[in-house]
Protein backbone atom coordinates (compact mmCIF):
# COMPACT_ATOMS: atom_id res chain seq x y z
CA UNK A 1 0.00 0.00 0.00
CA UNK A 2 1.25 3.50 -0.81
CA UNK A 3 1.93 5.46 2.37
CA UNK A 4 2.03 9.24 2.76
CA UNK A 5 4.69 10.80 0.62
CA UNK A 6 6.15 7.31 0.02
CA UNK A 7 7.62 7.39 3.57
CA UNK A 8 6.97 4.70 6.14
CA UNK A 9 6.36 6.22 9.55
CA UNK A 10 4.11 6.45 12.56
CA UNK A 11 0.49 5.57 11.91
CA UNK A 12 -1.67 8.43 13.10
CA UNK A 13 -5.29 7.46 13.37
CA UNK A 14 -7.87 4.73 13.04
CA UNK A 15 -11.61 4.97 13.53
CA UNK A 16 -13.21 3.77 16.74
CA UNK A 17 -16.98 4.00 16.72
CA UNK A 18 -18.90 4.57 19.94
CA UNK A 19 -22.54 5.22 20.75
CA UNK A 20 -23.33 7.79 23.42
CA UNK A 21 -26.90 8.70 24.21
CA UNK A 22 -28.76 9.62 21.04
CA UNK A 23 -25.77 10.03 18.76
CA UNK A 24 -22.73 8.23 17.48
CA UNK A 25 -19.30 9.77 17.04
CA UNK A 26 -16.04 8.68 15.49
CA UNK A 27 -13.16 8.90 17.93
CA UNK A 28 -9.71 8.96 16.41
CA UNK A 29 -6.95 6.97 18.09
CA UNK A 30 -3.25 6.39 17.61
CA UNK A 31 -2.67 2.74 16.74
CA UNK A 32 1.10 2.34 16.63
CA UNK A 33 4.52 2.99 15.21
CA UNK A 34 6.04 1.82 11.95
CA UNK A 35 9.71 1.77 11.07
CA UNK A 36 10.81 5.09 9.59
CA UNK A 37 11.17 8.64 10.81
CA UNK A 38 9.62 11.83 9.39
CA UNK A 39 11.31 13.30 6.30
CA UNK A 40 14.43 15.36 6.98
CA UNK A 41 13.61 18.96 7.83
CA UNK A 42 10.08 18.24 9.07
CA UNK A 43 9.03 20.91 11.55
CA UNK A 44 7.85 20.09 15.04
CA UNK A 45 4.51 21.16 16.45
CA UNK A 46 4.47 23.01 19.76
CA UNK A 47 1.98 23.35 22.56
CA UNK A 48 0.38 26.76 23.10
CA UNK A 49 -2.40 28.36 25.10
CA UNK A 50 -5.03 28.17 22.38
CA UNK A 51 -6.97 30.58 20.22
CA UNK A 52 -10.64 31.59 20.63
CA UNK A 53 -11.83 30.49 17.18
CA UNK A 54 -10.55 26.90 17.44
CA UNK A 55 -11.63 24.31 19.98
CA UNK A 56 -12.17 20.71 20.94
CA UNK A 57 -15.27 18.60 20.31
CA UNK A 58 -16.65 16.55 23.20
CA UNK A 59 -19.33 13.86 23.27
CA UNK A 60 -21.40 15.87 25.77
CA UNK A 61 -21.42 19.04 27.86
CA UNK A 62 -19.92 17.19 30.82
CA UNK A 63 -17.45 14.88 29.09
CA UNK A 64 -13.77 15.36 29.89
CA UNK A 65 -12.52 13.53 26.81
CA UNK A 66 -12.42 15.28 23.45
CA UNK A 67 -12.17 13.49 20.12
CA UNK A 68 -11.83 15.95 17.19
CA UNK A 69 -11.12 19.61 16.48
CA UNK A 70 -13.47 22.24 15.04
CA UNK A 71 -13.35 25.96 14.33
CA UNK A 72 -15.75 28.89 14.13
CA UNK A 73 -16.31 30.12 10.58
CA UNK A 74 -17.80 33.53 9.92
CA UNK A 75 -21.52 33.40 9.17
CA UNK A 76 -24.46 35.81 9.19
CA UNK A 77 -26.04 34.02 12.16
CA UNK A 78 -22.75 33.63 14.01
CA UNK A 79 -23.39 29.97 14.81
CA UNK A 80 -21.42 27.83 12.34
CA UNK A 81 -18.42 25.54 12.92
CA UNK A 82 -16.33 23.49 10.51
CA UNK A 83 -14.83 20.06 11.17
CA UNK A 84 -13.99 16.87 9.30
CA UNK A 85 -16.95 14.88 8.03
CA UNK A 86 -15.33 11.62 9.18
CA UNK A 87 -15.49 12.92 12.76
CA UNK A 88 -19.28 12.82 12.76
CA UNK A 89 -21.21 9.57 12.44
CA UNK A 90 -24.92 9.77 13.07
CA UNK A 91 -26.52 12.89 14.47
CA UNK A 92 -24.16 15.52 15.87
CA UNK A 93 -26.91 16.94 18.07
CA UNK A 94 -25.74 17.18 21.66
CA UNK A 95 -22.02 17.29 20.96
CA UNK A 96 -20.21 20.00 22.88
CA UNK A 97 -17.68 22.48 21.48
CA UNK A 98 -15.15 24.20 23.75
CA UNK A 99 -13.37 27.05 21.91
CA UNK A 100 -9.94 27.95 23.25
CA UNK A 101 -9.92 24.87 25.49
CA UNK A 102 -6.70 24.53 27.51
CA UNK A 103 -5.49 23.18 30.84
CA UNK A 104 -8.78 21.36 31.31
CA UNK A 105 -10.79 24.59 31.18
CA UNK A 106 -13.16 26.12 28.63
CA UNK A 107 -12.49 29.88 28.89
CA UNK A 108 -15.28 30.72 26.45
CA UNK A 109 -17.70 28.10 27.72
CA UNK A 110 -19.11 25.01 26.08
CA UNK A 111 -21.52 25.35 23.19
CA UNK A 112 -24.10 22.71 22.25
CA UNK A 113 -24.16 21.43 18.68
CA UNK A 114 -27.64 21.43 17.13
CA UNK A 115 -26.97 19.79 13.77
CA UNK A 116 -24.51 18.77 11.06
CA UNK A 117 -24.36 19.24 7.28
CA UNK A 118 -22.42 17.19 4.74
CA UNK A 119 -21.70 17.05 1.03
CA UNK A 120 -23.96 14.57 -0.82
CA UNK A 121 -20.92 12.75 -2.22
CA UNK A 122 -19.63 12.15 1.31
CA UNK A 123 -22.97 10.77 2.46
CA UNK A 124 -23.41 8.58 -0.62
CA UNK A 125 -19.91 7.17 -1.07
CA UNK A 126 -17.48 8.64 1.46
CA UNK A 127 -15.78 10.72 -1.23
CA UNK A 128 -12.60 11.91 0.49
CA UNK A 129 -12.52 15.14 -1.52
CA UNK A 130 -15.69 16.03 0.39
CA UNK A 131 -14.45 15.19 3.90
CA UNK A 132 -15.77 18.37 5.53
CA UNK A 133 -18.80 19.07 7.68
CA UNK A 134 -20.43 22.20 9.03
CA UNK A 135 -22.04 22.21 12.45
CA UNK A 136 -24.47 24.67 13.99
CA UNK A 137 -24.40 25.52 17.68
CA UNK A 138 -27.08 26.93 19.94
CA UNK A 139 -26.69 30.41 21.43
CA UNK A 140 -25.99 30.78 25.16
CA UNK A 141 -27.50 33.06 27.75
CA UNK A 142 -24.68 35.40 28.77
CA UNK A 143 -25.33 38.23 31.21
CA UNK A 144 -29.02 37.84 30.49
CA UNK A 145 -28.60 38.14 26.72
CA UNK A 146 -28.97 35.31 24.20
CA UNK A 147 -25.56 35.37 22.50
CA UNK A 148 -24.15 33.53 19.47
CA UNK A 149 -20.69 31.97 19.57
CA UNK A 150 -19.18 34.25 16.94
CA UNK A 151 -19.87 37.29 19.11
CA UNK A 152 -17.79 35.72 21.87
CA UNK A 153 -14.92 34.11 19.95
CA UNK A 154 -14.75 35.86 16.62
CA UNK A 155 -14.52 33.76 13.45
CA UNK A 156 -12.34 32.99 10.46
CA UNK A 157 -13.60 33.43 6.91
CA UNK A 158 -14.22 30.33 4.78
CA UNK A 159 -12.07 30.48 1.66
CA UNK A 160 -10.91 28.06 -1.03
CA UNK A 161 -7.98 25.66 -1.20
CA UNK A 162 -4.51 27.10 -0.55
CA UNK A 163 -1.87 27.65 -3.18
CA UNK A 164 1.37 25.68 -3.26
CA UNK A 165 3.97 27.31 -1.03
CA UNK A 166 1.41 29.24 1.00
CA UNK A 167 2.00 29.30 4.77
CA UNK A 168 -0.75 27.92 6.98
CA UNK A 169 -1.04 27.80 10.75
CA UNK A 170 -2.90 24.78 12.14
CA UNK A 171 -4.13 24.87 15.77
CA UNK A 172 -5.24 21.40 16.84
CA UNK A 173 -6.35 19.24 19.75
CA UNK A 174 -4.74 15.80 20.13
CA UNK A 175 -7.41 13.38 21.29
CA UNK A 176 -8.22 11.96 24.70
CA UNK A 177 -7.59 14.09 27.75
CA UNK A 178 -4.79 16.30 26.43
CA UNK A 179 -4.89 19.55 28.35
CA UNK A 180 -3.39 21.91 25.79
CA UNK A 181 -3.61 22.35 22.02
CA UNK A 182 -0.72 22.28 19.58
CA UNK A 183 0.11 24.50 16.63
CA UNK A 184 2.50 24.66 13.70
CA UNK A 185 3.08 26.98 10.75
CA UNK A 186 4.18 25.20 7.58
CA UNK A 187 4.25 25.50 3.80
CA UNK A 188 1.57 23.84 1.70
CA UNK A 189 2.37 21.42 -1.09
CA UNK A 190 0.10 19.14 -3.10
CA UNK A 191 -0.15 15.38 -3.36
CA UNK A 192 -2.33 15.03 -6.41
CA UNK A 193 -5.40 17.18 -5.78
CA UNK A 194 -4.94 17.13 -2.00
CA UNK A 195 -3.25 20.03 -0.19
CA UNK A 196 -0.69 18.79 2.36
CA UNK A 197 1.78 20.05 4.94
CA UNK A 198 4.54 18.43 6.99
CA UNK A 199 4.78 18.99 10.75
CA UNK A 200 5.19 16.42 13.50
CA UNK A 201 3.33 15.18 15.49
CA UNK A 202 -0.33 15.66 14.51
CA UNK A 203 -1.99 12.62 16.05
CA UNK A 204 -5.56 11.42 16.40
CA UNK A 205 -7.99 14.13 17.48
CA UNK A 206 -6.41 16.72 15.21
CA UNK A 207 -8.86 15.84 12.43
CA UNK A 208 -11.01 18.87 11.64
CA UNK A 209 -8.28 21.36 12.59
CA UNK A 210 -8.45 24.46 10.37
CA UNK A 211 -5.64 25.55 8.08
CA UNK A 212 -5.46 29.29 8.71
CA UNK A 213 -3.86 31.64 6.20
CA UNK A 214 -3.16 35.30 6.94
CA UNK A 215 -4.28 37.52 4.06
CA UNK A 216 -4.79 41.27 3.57
CA UNK A 217 -8.52 40.59 4.03
CA UNK A 218 -8.00 38.78 7.35
CA UNK A 219 -7.48 35.21 8.50
CA UNK A 220 -8.97 32.70 6.06
CA UNK A 221 -9.74 28.99 6.41
CA UNK A 222 -8.12 27.40 3.35
CA UNK A 223 -8.23 23.77 4.49
CA UNK A 224 -8.71 21.39 7.40
CA UNK A 225 -7.11 18.13 8.49
CA UNK A 226 -9.26 15.59 6.62
CA UNK A 227 -9.49 14.20 3.11
CA UNK A 228 -6.92 11.68 1.89
CA UNK A 229 -6.72 8.81 4.40
CA UNK A 230 -9.08 10.87 6.61
CA UNK A 231 -6.33 13.44 7.06
CA UNK A 232 -3.33 11.15 6.91
CA UNK A 233 -1.83 7.90 8.10
CA UNK A 234 1.22 9.27 9.85
CA UNK A 235 1.85 11.99 12.37
CA UNK A 236 4.19 13.99 10.18
CA UNK A 237 2.04 14.70 7.10
CA UNK A 238 -1.51 16.02 7.10
CA UNK A 239 -3.94 16.44 4.21
CA UNK A 240 -7.00 18.52 3.42
CA UNK A 241 -9.82 18.04 0.96
CA UNK A 242 -9.66 20.77 -1.69
CA UNK A 243 -12.14 23.41 -0.56
CA UNK A 244 -14.23 25.16 -3.18
CA UNK A 245 -17.81 25.52 -4.37
CA UNK A 246 -18.81 22.15 -2.87
CA UNK A 247 -17.78 23.23 0.63
CA UNK A 248 -19.47 26.58 0.11
CA UNK A 249 -22.74 24.84 -0.82
CA UNK A 250 -22.71 22.81 2.43
CA UNK A 251 -21.81 25.94 4.41
CA UNK A 252 -24.76 27.76 2.81
CA UNK A 253 -27.18 25.05 3.97
CA UNK A 254 -25.87 25.35 7.51
CA UNK A 255 -26.21 29.14 7.37
CA UNK A 256 -29.78 28.81 6.07
CA UNK A 257 -30.74 26.49 8.92
CA UNK A 258 -31.74 23.63 6.62
CA UNK A 259 -32.75 20.29 8.10
CA UNK A 260 -29.68 18.71 9.76
CA UNK A 261 -28.28 15.54 8.25
CA UNK A 262 -26.98 12.21 9.51
CA UNK A 263 -23.31 11.41 9.03
CA UNK A 264 -22.54 7.98 7.53
CA UNK A 265 -20.04 5.44 8.84
CA UNK A 266 -16.74 6.81 7.46
CA UNK A 267 -15.30 3.34 7.03
CA UNK A 268 -11.59 2.58 6.95
CA UNK A 269 -9.01 5.31 6.46
CA UNK A 270 -7.17 2.92 4.15
CA UNK A 271 -3.87 3.29 5.98
CA UNK A 272 -3.24 -0.35 6.83
CA UNK A 273 -5.01 -3.65 6.40
CA UNK A 274 -3.91 -4.42 9.94
CA UNK A 275 -6.00 -1.63 11.49
Position 267 in a domain? no
Position 42 in a domain? no
Q: What is the pLDDT of residue 223?
A: 98
Pairing mode, if any, of strands 23-29 and 237-239?
unpaired
Position 128 in a domain? yes
> 61: alpha, beta or left, given left = phi > 0 and alpha = psi -120 to 50?
alpha
Q: What is the pLDDT of residue 32?
A: 32
Q: What is the pLDDT of residue 179?
A: 81
Beta-bridged to residue 237, according to DSSP, are 198
Which CATH number does the domain housing residue 158 bear? 2.40.10.120
**What stretches of 69-223 show up as alpha helix (H) in DSSP?**
120-125, 149-153
Domain hosting residue 173, numbered range? 4-29+48-256
Position 229 in a domain? yes
Position 38 in a domain? no
Give pTM, 2 decimals. 0.87
**Per-10-residue mean pLDDT, the chain, length 275:** 25 34 36 57 95 97 94 98 98 97 95 98 98 98 97 98 97 85 98 98 97 95 98 97 98 98 96 55
Q: What is the pLDDT of residue 26?
A: 39
Pairing mode, if any, of strands 194-200 and 43-44?
parallel
Instruction: State how many domains the chain has.
Output: 1
Position 65 in a domain? yes
Q: How far apart are CA 60 and CA 113, in angstroms?
A: 9
Position 35 in a domain? no
Position 271 in a domain? no
Amino acid sequence: MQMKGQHMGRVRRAIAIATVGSFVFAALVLPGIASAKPPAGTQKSKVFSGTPTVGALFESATSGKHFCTASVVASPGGNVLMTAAHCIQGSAKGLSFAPGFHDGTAPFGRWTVTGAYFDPAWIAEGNTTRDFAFLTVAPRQLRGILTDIQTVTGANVLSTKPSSGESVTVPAYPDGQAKVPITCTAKVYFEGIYPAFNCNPYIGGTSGSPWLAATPEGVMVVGLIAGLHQGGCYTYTSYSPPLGSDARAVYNRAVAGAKPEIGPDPGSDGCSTGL
